Amino acid sequence: MPSAAPASSPTADFGPALLEAVGIHTFYGASHILHGVDFRIGPGETVGLMGRNGMGKSTLIRSMLGIVPVREGRILAGGQDLTGRPSYQIVRTGIAYVPEGRGIFGNLSVRENLVMSARPAPNGSTDWTLDRVLATFPRLAERLGQAGDQLSGGEQQMLAIGRALMTNPLLLVLDEATEGLAPLIRKEIWRIVRLVRDTGIATLIVDKNVAAVSAITDRNVILVKGTVVFEGASAELDAQPDLKHRYLGV
């Protein structure tokens, strides 16, 4: 069986990290979830965060975004040490988060869900306007007046991604990008993720479809019980089927 790449294996040089964890330990009560995890994503980079259920993927994201406090280690965003800072200060560096469960405001219309989040990028650019989002998501354009809780699951995911893009992010974080969606809708979501990637927005993706993720990522990181056991290019991961079977069950 091929051995896993060490956590310290080199990655492509995409410049200073947009979001970085340095040796973080995170607990839920007495349960030690993350064990000294190092993770980084740079400008324009697309990274897959992989692992079986319960291995710490969502906890790592929430720790880096200040939603869950870290007990040890540092969180850096936009070149700043923001360890222990509230989430809003971290995301203001240019991060948009699409959480598992989507977080749509059900009592607001599609239009209201989108425009409420509109703001320039940290550098002042406003490339992602309402018109551009609606052109990217034609289904949303047809449902502008509908309440968020009247949409299908796939439409809600499109709305969640569109709302994130209205912040003109430097980094888009997708936790369970296609969870629970029908195959045709999953295909549409992956098309949109590729489109976003091709605009130069960095993307961090968590999804159970390993093949779909590795098809569009520059590199992938695998967590097992809160520890990084593999970090490497997508081609490197694809060349190690035994490793994928061992750690991902595929």
Other Cβ atoms within 10 Å of 145 Cβ, number: 10
Sign of the four-CA dihedral 74, 79, 85, 89: negative
pLDDT for 15 equals 60
Q: Structural domain tally of the chain?
A: 1
Q: Where does the pLDDT of residue 39 fall: very low under 50, low under 70, confident under 90, or very high at 90 and above? A: very high
Q: How far apart are CA 56 and CA 47, in angstroms?
A: 16
Is residue 59 in some structural domain?
A: yes
CATH number of the domain within which 233 lies: 3.40.50.300
Q: What single letter denotes the amino acid at residue 32?
A: H
51 contacts 6 by C-beta, under 8 angstroms: no
| 61 inside domain | yes
Tens-place pLDDT, residues 93-130: 999 999 988 889 989 999 999 999 999 999 899 999 99
Look at residue 172 and tell me if it is in a domain.
Answer: no
pLDDT > 60? residue 13: no
Average pLDDT, the chain: 91
pLDDT per position as a tens digit, 166-211:
999 999 999 998 988 999 999 999 999 999 999 999 999 999 999 9
219 found inside a domain: yes
- What number of other Cβ atoms are within 10 A of residue 216's Cβ? 16
Give a yes or no: residue 180 inside a domain.
no
Q: Report the distance separating Cα 220 and Cα 217, nearest Å.
A: 7
Report yes or no on 43 lying in a domain. Answer: yes
Domain annotation covers residue 177: no
- Please provide the DSSP assignment of 57-86 as one string: HHHHHHHHTTSS--SEEEEEETTEE-TT--
Residue 10 has pLDDT above 50, yes or no: no
How far lies 80's CA from each of 40, 164, 184, in Å? 13, 22, 40
Report the residue count for the chain: 250
Q: Helix (H, G, I), strand (E, B), or coil: what is residue 162?
A: helix
State which H helix or E strand residue 62 sits in. helix 57-64
Question: Quick one: pLDDT band at residue 7, thresholds 50, 70, 90?
Answer: very low
Which pTM does this prediction carry? 0.91
Range of the domain at 89: 1-94+211-250
Indicate whether 40 pLDDT > 70.
yes
136 inside domain: no
